[in-house]
Amino acid sequence: MIQIPTRDGTADAYLAHPGDGGPHPAVLLYMDAFGLRPHLKSMADRLAGEGYTVLVPNVFYRFGPAPVVELPEFIDPAERPEIIRNLGPAARTLTPEGAVRDAAHYLDWLAASPLTTDGPVGVTGYCMGAGLALRTAGTHPERVAAAAGFHGAYLATDAPDSPHLLAGHITAELYFGHADRDATNPADQIARLEKSLTEAGVEHRSEVYEGAHHGFTQADTAMYGSRATERHWAALLDLFARRLSR
């Protein structure tokens, strides 16, 4: 665990990197709404095992250090609806404007680290983190070479600050793995995202994972799907292998 100073405080974050101590391509991994916890650390460790230096910030740091709410080892929102309710105040501390400011600090930290190579980074995000990945690619285009989002939530809404509206600024290659059983990302929003990226000329691939639930990559939740998760890993590692210099 490390600490990253920001304009609004200090973000706690998890750092994973290969054990050789040398520089490796940087990856910024954005958490889902349940936050920085052992499972997300294990995902970062897997990426580090593939040769990347991975930063996983607690994006709710304004509310408090991770974990921002008490979590069981296995998360089933249907049985524990209070978990979602308790996360609400923490989630409200992260505005789109704050997310953009934070992204600059995270990218600065990675650029300054001796554990990272020079050049643009890769970004991946889960649930709400997919929107943060899209927003980071759109507001820091010169610093992001590849960005991915999985079971993303509210990526292309009618809101004036919806992440998809940044499509015209994106220079990274993008990949999205959508869950087809996901009330937070219905078919009309997937189509709107696809249209915005295509019209902006963004190099991208967008796939709907049939039978997958929102949260399918998160093995400590009731939404987990092993086949969809392995498909996600294959797509993510392919994207990063092509776009991030070693």
pLDDT digits 0-9 by tens, 150-192: 999 999 999 999 999 999 999 999 999 999 999 999 999 999 9
Give the dihedral of Cα atoms 127, 130, 132, 134; nearest 10 deg: -160
Question: What is the extent of the structural domain holding 178?
Answer: 2-243
b/e burial code for range 162-177 (CB count within 10 A of at least 16 → b): bbbbbbeebebbbbbb
What is the arrangement of strands in the sheet containing 53-57, beginning at the earlier edge strand?
A: 2-6, 9-16, 53-57, 26-30, 121-126, 144-150, 173-181, 204-213
Query: Hunting for tokens 């990272």 — which residue is that?
Result: 116
Q: Is the pLDDT of residue 33 over 90?
A: yes
> Which residue in the list 24, 32, 127, 213 is annotated as catalytic?
127
Residue 127 is among the residues annotated as catalytic for this protein: yes
Going through 17-159 in order, the beta strands assigned E by DSSP cover 26-30, 53-57, 121-126, 144-150
Tell me, what CATH number does 29's domain have?
A: 3.40.50.1820
Is the predicted pLDDT of residue 18 greater than 80, yes or no?
yes
**DSSP H/E element including 116:** none
Which pLDDT does position 234 carry in this prediction? 98
- Angstrom distance (rounded) from CA 188 to CA 191: 5
Active site (annotated) includes residue 214 = yes
Overall average pLDDT of the 27-36 stretch: 98
Number of domains in the chain: 1
At 246 the pLDDT is 67
Residue-wise pLDDT tens digits, 186-231: 999 999 999 999 999 999 999 999 999 999 999 999 999 999 999 9
pLDDT band, very low/low/confident/very high, at 106 (cuts 50, 70, 90): very high
Q: Does residue 140 register a pLDDT over 70? A: yes
Q: Which tokens sit at 2?
A: 């490390």
Across the chain, mean pLDDT equals 97
Mean pLDDT for the stretch of residues 139-144: 98
In percent, the amount of the chain with pLDDT more than 70 equals: 100
Q: Which residue of the set 12, 32, 102, 182 is catalytic?
A: 182
Is residue 20 annotated as part of the catalytic site, yes or no?
no
pLDDT at 245: 75
- Contact yes or no for 154/186 (Cβ under 8 A): no
Cis peptide before 65 (omega within 30 of 0): no
Instruction: Give the span between the Cα atoms of 155 and 185, in whole angstroms.
Output: 7
